[in-house]
Amino acid sequence: MRQGNPVRLYPQPRRLQWLEGETRWSSRISVNASEEAGQAVERVRLVPRLGQAIAGCGEGRAVDEQPATAISVYHREELHPQGYVLEWNENGLRIEYSRDAGLYYALVTVEQLLSREGVHWNYFRIEDAPDFPVRGIMLDIGRHKIPKLTELYKLVDRMAELKLNHLQLYMEGFCFEYGQYKDAFPGSTPITAAELRQLDVYAAQRFVDLVPNQNCLGHMGEWLNKPEFRELAEHPNGLPLPNQVTFPPTTLNPVDPRSMDLIKDMFDTLLPNFSSPYVNVNMDEPYGLGAGQSKERCDEIGVGQLYMEYADQVFELVRSHGKKPLMWGDVLASHPEVIDRIPEDVTVLDWNYECNLSFEAHCKMLGSKGISFYVCPGTSSWSAISGRTDNMLNNVSDAAIHGLKYGASGLIVADWGDNGHWQVPAVSYPGYVYAAGVSWQTQQHLHQSEWLENYISEEVYRDESGEIGSFLLELGRYYHLERSTLDNATYTMRLLMDGIKSPEQFKADMTLIMKIFGELGGPGGEFHMDYCYAEMKEWLLQRKEQHAKLKLRDPEAETVVDELTNTLRLIEQGIGLHRYLHRIDLPDHQAEIECLTELRAGMELAVREFVRLWRIRNREGGLESSTRAMNRLLDQYKERIEELTAADAAE
């Protein structure tokens, strides 16, 4: 640490003042605190954690011969509940705090400074507090990928290091063990009540609020497609759409009392496992609401009132468990006539994951109505294999700017699992880390990619090459070379999901999908693309060269490197499949066979590695559905090779 240089700390503090002088840490510490402060010191485990940080310090060595470094801890009621003051001077380290969370974040700051700056510090004073009281992550465990408990512990640890304090595990399908319904979901490997209770305690010790999350209106497809639940659907036989398309049943019938009976069973089983005062009831994207079984009631009162009639029942159920509801805001945005019905104890989660659509209008409306709300951008990792970096950076930035301006009390970054949840954890970390920065101090962290890259390299993965932060951001930039109009996904991902078909058929199918989601409330439009094949090959070569430089010293280094190798392998499949479908430099059947044979071998390896790496971190349930498109593509390769070989033999 040198005066005048930027301090290597992420998130950056609200205020840093350099003082005259410098000294080193001793290998020993002594703590001076009042009885009240001393109890807080014990609760956050300040002494053993600092001792461990000094012993494992990244640069230099603490001095054994000098007197113990004095740490004075003072309680100051007037500070922000999560704020703190640190002053390093000739008397040692002075810490001021108001609540335990503030003392904990002071400790986290000191630990990171020791790790990144070593034990020789210039004198300084830090005054710090967050811009957003609630800062967190929502991880999708409801679609395909359910992490093992050990992985969730690691995530909580990473969150605590970033001063994130809110974690939701998004649930749809059968990802939590509702014992009374287990027989309906054979082969599932859900998280259990006992595991959630353990995770709840673990998170609370690190000042992370583990908030229960269960969808209870839309996104109920895995339940409603079971014969025993289908009659609870708004559209038991599916939702009719234009072009003779039928969308599968995903929305509960809000006027059928049995729908609420099911949700009551769920919440009565799920909610007692959490100490959080909140629960996210979701209720987003209720496709076809009011157009099916509930149409008669909807014709009487309208879609917005129908939605709120059901929501009021859910709110009462949540309150009976002593909790306050969180809910997504998309239906309210579409039906502003009911927004005044939102109760005071409900927090609206305003979500948007595309950077070309700003949070400003919704934030302004919610703020003007005095409604409690969080802004919820996304990691842009899903349906993209390696993410969409610049979409993420701009989306999260916009959420922070307008959330702060109009009074949002939280920023939650969503990490979804659409289309198989193919992204590996490292792909999501740029989004987690950037959201942590801008939610702690918005203006200081906007567009500070270098800080983001350095933190990922130095603290998340301990990369001696210093390369992985930049590598992960660049890994999520291939989509710029696709020049596709697809929304919320990349062309490469859709190509691997759809498999072998003519470019004309692919375009027609993508346009139809975009129109369908336009009917359901999405942006719609038509599919267009101007793919840069040569540039994609060059991009891939550059990423492979960058990947080869990585020297991770993280305990999971081998797994992380292998996951990123396979991520590149999947993108390479997409490039090769595009080449085949557009017959680039493939003049005859023999050239096509050689191309397909190479693609098939590469995909076989990618699938084997995907399965192996999945099982290291995640439960078995969901693996088969996640790899279904991969295996279908393998079958298509085999069939096409056989067809071409037979055609050549016939000639």
Which residues have a catalytic role annotated?
285
CA distances from 273 to 11, 231, 267, 532 (A): 31, 30, 10, 51
Give the count of beta carbons closer than 10 Å to the beta carbon of residue 344.
9
Cα(629)–Cα(625) distance, integer angstroms: 8
CA distances from 55 to 215, 289, 455, 460 (A): 46, 59, 21, 19
Q: In what order do the strands lie in the sheet with 92-97?
A: 15-24, 120-128, 84-89, 92-97, 69-75, 29-33
Cα(639)–Cα(647) distance, integer angstroms: 12
Give the count of beta carbons closer than 10 Å to the beta carbon of residue 639.
12
Give the count of beta carbons closer than 10 Å to the beta carbon of residue 175.
26
Please, what is the Cα angle at 152 between 147 and 157, to 5 degrees? Answer: 155
Q: Is 48 exposed, middle or buried (0-12, 13-18, 19+ CB in 10 A)?
A: exposed
Question: Which tokens is 372 given?
Answer: 């409690």
**Amino acid (one-letter) located at 520:** L
Cα(288)–Cα(301) distance, integer angstroms: 16
Give the count of beta carbons closer than 10 Å to the beta carbon of residue 275.
12
CA distances from 106 to 132, 139, 194, 623 (A): 17, 27, 32, 41
Question: Which tokens is 542 given?
Answer: 């550059």
Question: Which tokens is 497 given?
Answer: 């999901």
